[in-house]
Amino acid sequence: MDDSAVLALRVLVSLGVVLGLLWWLQRRLIRGRASSGTEAPIRVLSRQVISPKASVVVLETGGQRFLLGVTESNVNVLHTSEAVEEEAPDTAFAASLEDASNAAQESGQSSGSGLPRRRDTRRTAPAQGASMLNGSILSPDTWRQSAAFLRRGRQE
């Protein structure tokens, strides 16, 4: 074999080893960075557009909440505070159901489901001579008042 062919073969093998090593290191570094969790995740909690080129953003990272003013060319920290630990929605809902169930049992309600009955939010009985429909769109008096208002508007 010619010396130049051996040299070319050695260069190709060396290049293959170097590229393989770079590929392996890159895979290891990406996997290591993803699983290490050393970077605090940034969560955008809210965003409100103020104008086409400006907005206000609330974000949370590292146990802190930041209120940022964001424009096309700047990001300004408007306010910082400690992040508030919020209960998971499922946990909060389950706790409220349990509280309601306990309150129903303590008050002696027996609605069958263990939950308190719906509170009656209706108004008291109408005054003598007044209708339950007073103020409602179903009330004939409401229609009469509307027609009288429109007639007055045309006459003036």
Q: Is there a contact between 59 and 68 (Cβ–Cβ < 8 Å)? A: yes
Q: How far is residue 97's CA from residue 90's CA, in Å, rounded to a whole number?
A: 11
Return the structure tokens found at 97: 């159901």
Return the structure tokens found at 47: 């965003």
What pLDDT is attached to residue 18? 94
Q: What residues have CB less than 8 Å from 80, skipping those under 6 apart?
A: 64, 65, 66, 67
Q: Taking the CB of residue 96, how many other CB atoms lie within 10 A of it?
A: 10
pLDDT at 110 over 80: no
Q: Which amino acid is at 58?
A: V
Q: How far is residue 62's CA from residue 23's CA, in Å, rounded to a whole number?
A: 33
pLDDT in tens, 112-143: 555 556 666 665 665 666 666 777 777 788 88
pTM of the prediction?
0.34
Mean local confidence (pLDDT), 96-118: 64
Q: How far is residue 36's CA from residue 30's CA, in Å, rounded to a whole number?
A: 10
What pLDDT is attached to residue 56? 92
- Residue at token pair 């964001």: 70
What pLDDT is attached to residue 12? 94
CA distances from 8 to 5, 16, 126, 151 (A): 5, 12, 103, 102
**Of the ranges 27-31, 99-103, 109-113, 135-139, the best mean pLDDT one:** 27-31
Write phi, then psi, for 106 (nearest 5 degrees).
-70, -35
Write phi, then psi, for 109 (nearest 5 degrees).
-75, 140
Query: Angle at CA 133, nearest 5°, toward 132 and 136?
Result: 145
